[in-house]
Structure 1
């Protein structure tokens, strides 16, 4: 292995934004720090796009907004990622168009393969080793990945070459005058990416004197010898968040995604700086909020399917559960919080891809959710260390994950669907599903619209699956055995350990065997003890509606693309009203 020479210093350069952007070279293997809409270096990405950098090998856990900006500017020469999503706003249109047209080479990774490849580069090792994603076909997709025999015991394992990065860009709240950089809250893959990078370019909200970073309390510090250069750019992550300065500005993101103007123009920070709403939202604390909110949504005469599924998913959890909320799963996030607020107060709950550990079940206020979880969490972490500490160790019991398509063997396809025309419809990607589907004690997948297109006889590509199913094979791999189930708006399937096929175990209220059969792409079998699920009682519905999810974020997973925009607009309006009310005198 030939490792690139580092361009880092005990004395990082302090430069302006234009100079920092100019340090990115055409053709760089280019990583972006932050995650989802948290701490994205938006101002720096805009400057890089304005310089018309070319042929960047975009390499990161997630694509999302950062990748959309670079694709729009024609900066991207190739893409390596685990998934790409715009969170509540749906699939990223530029990424989808590029992937479907095969305009830019795209390589899909499992999260664990990317983590171990980055760590191999970080540690100056010739390769990284990882558990195989049994039940998926992802090993044929991950670049350079091989199945090899463990040198000590001969068992098959995954091996991956080091993933060295030329440049990583990230945004952080502060640096001190020596160049030590502070991160508050979840840190995604920032530690591994910084360690694997030749150059690390950072924008920060402010510079503080040496010795004062510790006053911030819980934090992660990237020491100055890991940093190449720093620019002070107040508001440099907006409209993404930067704790403790401002929350994600979802209204600004919605306007940018709806606008016909280029993203680089729509995402320009206003001359007055970060608007008041995200600054007020980030200051809300759990103690500022009521135990129950006044009713916001009209209470239906009977529970809606989103409520029924949330309550049924919550019933899977108990005091010994450790549930992780993955990307873009509001229904699962609601179910976890509902369980912890009711019958499972001792369960552990982690959010933002396991970046906030053991949080309190705060209400899902869109703008304030990240800082509420960061405040109440027992610890902050990154995806790289939580994979080895929790997932690979088999400590996580549940990560209830949404799927686009599931087949009779319980395998998931979240990569691409084939259209009637023969073309492809690109999906977000499997994220970490290929890994964690085997690592979690319980396998729990949900599909909010049960149809012959979503529940199929055989997926075209298995992006994830429960390859280790029965107790013997799971015990041999060091994992606990639990339930393996698929939840839909019509039924609950159980994955039978003997036949390894789905069996209908429960029927949703109002559904029928005939409806399930008509909506399934194969002839479903019904368990001998198949039963109809009971409707949720009034008390738990009140907690769901007025304590856990007063905005009804769970509904976003039950509407089509045409209805999503209107629903988001109504949610954002109520979110703003609640933040303004409960922020009180917060400036």
Structure 2
């Protein structure tokens, strides 16, 4: 591996213009390698495919998320080490190549907290020997983050984490445009793009368009990587496909579903852009405005009984009010539904942030899978990056709620989302904690959900404490600048509260028709029930109507409550309904344009 103690920058005031293969040729064996974009948005797929074809090996993959980019590189046997916070294929579940590499130990995997990675990148960006960060108290993560240590702050004496610089050799990113002098435009959430670009020796960019100097000033909400931060640029229309690049095209979820399901051909081949370019449907979908979707007629579904996913979504929504600031994390359909339901019904003044706080203060638009990102991008008051939102909102204690899914929770409310030990001694690799270890203490209210209550998911002690509410009482929280609120765990059988005195979970509510004995029999620790324990009320008909017809017409929340075997059929159902809705919205918008003209 390379010596990364110093970085010689390969950047100038005039970035080189080349093609995608030219960019791929600039990636060297053993590079510390970062990837821009976020989830299925602005991923540099064309460039990653070219790097995979080039035969480059021994990359140290460094990124907040693994997901699709990491799967592509693992398939090409290009990765020797992995540093990340989280890896998921979003609605499609856990990434198989990452799981195989981690579970067999074939490739070292180092789990970071989001804040530690942000501060390590900032240290590299600012040429500092280290950066401080809030210790994720209650979790095991400080000991797991490479190079991190806890020691007294030299001024206040309080326990503080410190992290050395995280330097990158190469950072690759896809963006909307560059001008002819090499300034690069990013529209929408920035993820960690700016911090990673600043920490990188060379920055390689693919773009949808190259425009004349001065043209970038004509666009609205945007961010600019100035030309002296960029090494080389390649024109690559559709370079993020099948991921999205707004305002040009939305994510092709159908193509992704087929690519992940097909084993006969390499993933890289399955993700190839069609010969005719990005499909017209995706380009037209990117033009659908919030006004068109909000004017759609309700579906008028009128089932008499509510399902458990609807009861939980409505119950979580009831926790929110007009003073709430709720952030939706990486892969959280249930949280997204609950937040939008609250804002559309009883809490119109609350703030919702999506795309891991990249879309700030969105409208409660319907959750149409292919249009969620574009609607949130359009209705958001502001766009941001993960690094600056941590500083401005999370670390400041401004976020009141972020409900997060957990694979395993113990009697003290501690979470394991990293790995489970099988009976034969093998591992089941989980996605990772993302930023959960940090925000578990930072948010006012600590809310978890476990979709399938069982003795395997609710245990006496988790093996790895990936996150926990280490600061629970006002006396512990106020000196850190954090507000004190509720600590709750929602399951499909009950609601637990983390008792501030015993610091253990106590059942405070049960799902309709669920007995205390059922909960005892399916919990891996001795259950206590609050003296005032009651049954959760069914959602009102009005609430159900808004939930089913306006907020979650596709039923995305259901993905949280099905097994891996059932997921494929449900995704197929959702994708078919999604396409029909997208086509309806496109037709409605085109009709409206015709009327106006």
Give yes or no for TM over 0.5. Answer: yes
Q: 1:381 aligns with which of 379, 384, 387?
A: 384
Q: 1:272 aligns with which of 261, 276, 298?
A: 276
2:211 is equivalent to residue 211 of structure 1: no
Quick one: distance in 1 between partners of 2:258 and 2:33? 28
Quick one: distance in 2 between partners of 1:244 and 1:252? 19
Q: 2:223 aligns with which of 220, 225, 237?
A: 220
User: What is aligned with 1:244?
Assistant: 247
User: What is aligned with 1:307?
Assistant: 310
2:164 is equivalent to residue 149 of structure 1: no
* Structure 1 residue runs without a partner (length 5+): none
2:2 is equivalent to residue 15 of structure 1: no
- 1:431-458 CA deviation, whole Å, 9 max, x = no partner? 0000000000000000010000001110
Q: 1:121 aligns with which of 105, 121, 124?
A: 124
Q: 1:284 aligns with which of 278, 281, 288?
A: 288
User: What is aligned with 2:548?
Assistant: 545
2:491 is equivalent to residue 472 of structure 1: no
Q: 1:399 aligns with which of 402, 407, 421?
A: 402
Quick one: distance in 2 between partners of 1:172 and 1:318? 37
Q: 1:68 aligns with which of 71, 77, 88?
A: 71
Quick one: distance in 2 between partners of 1:398 and 1:282? 30
- 1:17-69 CA deviation, whole Å, 9 max, x = no partner? 11110000000000000010000000000000000110000000000000000
* Contact map agreement 2:405 2:448 (CA 8 A) in 1: yes
1:145-224 correspondence to structure 2 within 5 Å: 145-224=148-227
Displacement after TM superposition at 1:291 (Å): 4.8
User: What is aligned with 1:324?
Assistant: 327
- 1:447-493 CA deviation, whole Å, 9 max, x = no partner? 01000000111001100000000110001111000000101111000
TM-score normalised by structure 1 residue count: 0.99
Displacement after TM superposition at 1:299 (Å): 4.3
Quick one: distance in 2 between partners of 1:471 and 1:487? 23
User: What is aligned with 1:531?
Assistant: 534
- 1:201-230 CA deviation, whole Å, 9 max, x = no partner? 000001000001121211001000000000
SS in 1 for 2:369: coil
- 1:294-323 CA deviation, whole Å, 9 max, x = no partner? 428x64331000000000000010000000
* Contact map agreement 1:78 1:104 (CA 8 A) in 2: yes
Query: Aligned in 2, Cα 1:488/1:182: closer, same or farther, shift over 3 Å?
Result: same
Runs of 4+ off more than 2 Å: 290-296, 298-301
User: What is aligned with 2:57?
Assistant: 54
1:451-466 correspondence to structure 2 within 5 Å: 451-466=454-469
Quick check: 62-71 or 208-217, which moved more? 208-217
* Contact map agreement 2:294 2:365 (CA 8 A) in 1: no
Query: Aligned in 2, Cα 1:463/1:73: closer, same or farther, shift over 3 Å?
Result: same
User: What is aligned with 1:442?
Assistant: 445
2:422 is equivalent to residue 419 of structure 1: yes
* Contact map agreement 1:293 1:550 (CA 8 A) in 2: no
- 1:144-183 CA deviation, whole Å, 9 max, x = no partner? 0000110101111000000010000000010000100000
SS in 1 for 2:139: coil
Quick one: distance in 1 between partners of 2:178 and 2:215? 10
Quick one: distance in 1 between partners of 2:454 and 2:503? 21
SS in 2 for 1:494: strand
Quick one: distance in 2 between partners of 1:77 and 1:5? 23
SS in 1 for 2:123: helix
Quick one: distance in 1 between partners of 2:126 and 2:5? 13
Report how many residues are paired: 586
Quick one: distance in 1 between partners of 2:293 and 2:16? 43
Quick one: distance in 1 between partners of 2:145 and 2:461? 22
TM-score normalised by structure 2 residue count: 0.97
SS in 2 for 1:395: coil
2:586 is equivalent to residue 583 of structure 1: yes
Displacement after TM superposition at 1:2 (Å): 4.4
Displacement after TM superposition at 1:277 (Å): 2.2
* Contact map agreement 2:294 2:366 (CA 8 A) in 1: no
Quick check: 147-156 or 80-89, which moved more? 147-156
* Contact map agreement 2:29 2:58 (CA 8 A) in 1: yes
SS in 1 for 2:176: strand
User: What is aligned with 1:554?
Assistant: 557
Quick one: distance in 1 between partners of 2:422 and 2:561? 21
2:84 is equivalent to residue 81 of structure 1: yes
Query: Aligned in 2, Cα 1:421/1:293: closer, same or farther, shift over 3 Å?
Result: farther
2:576 is equivalent to residue 573 of structure 1: yes
Displacement after TM superposition at 1:551 (Å): 0.3
Quick one: distance in 1 between partners of 2:114 and 2:568? 30
Quick one: distance in 2 between partners of 1:157 and 1:38? 34
Quick one: distance in 2 between partners of 1:561 and 1:420? 20
Q: 2:299 aligns with which of 295, 301, 306?
A: 295
* Contact map agreement 1:292 1:546 (CA 8 A) in 2: no
* Contact map agreement 2:455 2:522 (CA 8 A) in 1: yes
CA RMSD of aligned residues (A): 1.1
SS in 2 for 1:368: helix
User: What is aligned with 1:503?
Assistant: 506
